[in-house]
């Protein structure tokens, strides 16, 4: 099991708290595990809720029509890296 970076753990906590994922502890989410489908099983409504929480917490806007979303929401690691890059700008 791969350890999460401190920021990945922070984003995992946001994900678990925002989406009320009682079956998951933030530290148990694998960084490369898919967030949708066979991974955590998130759906498009979850993505909207998560995008809103990310906007509030980090000031990073995720637009529903963005073609990058599939890549951004691919895994916890991809999402964390995207947030970190966008926060710097």
Q: How far is CA 70 from the centre of its chain?
A: 12
- The pTM is what? 0.91
Quick: pLDDT tens for 34-70.
Answer: 999 888 999 989 999 999 999 999 999 988 788 888 8
Q: In whole angstroms, what is the distance from residue 67 CA to residue 76 CA?
A: 18
Q: What is the pLDDT of residue 20?
A: 95
Residue 39 has a pLDDT of 87
Sign of CA dihedral 38, 63, 8, 19: negative
DSSP letter (8 states) at residue 42: B
Do 61 and 55 touch, CB atoms closer than 8 A? yes
Q: Which domains does the chain have, with CATH numbers?
A: 6-88 (1.10.1200.10)
Per-residue tokens: 12? 């995992």
Looking at residue 77, what is its pLDDT?
Answer: 97
> CA 48, CA 25: separation in Å to the nearest integer?
21
**How would residue 89 be classed by pLDDT, with cut points 50, 70 and 90?**
low
Q: How far apart are the first and last CA of the chain?
A: 32
DSSP class of residue 73?
Answer: T
* The pLDDT of residue 3: 87
């Amino acid at each position: 099991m791969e350890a999460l970076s401190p920021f990945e753990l922070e984003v995992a906590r946001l994900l678990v708290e925002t989406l009320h994922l009682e079956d998951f502890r933030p530290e148990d989410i694998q960084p490369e595990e898919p967030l949708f489908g066979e991974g955590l099983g998130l759906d498009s409504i979850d993505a909207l809720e998560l995008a809103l929480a990310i906007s509030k917490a980090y000031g990073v806007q995720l637009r529903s029509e963005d073609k990058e979303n599939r890549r951004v929401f691919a895994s916890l690691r991809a999402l964390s890296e995207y947030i970190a890059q966008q926060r710097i700008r």
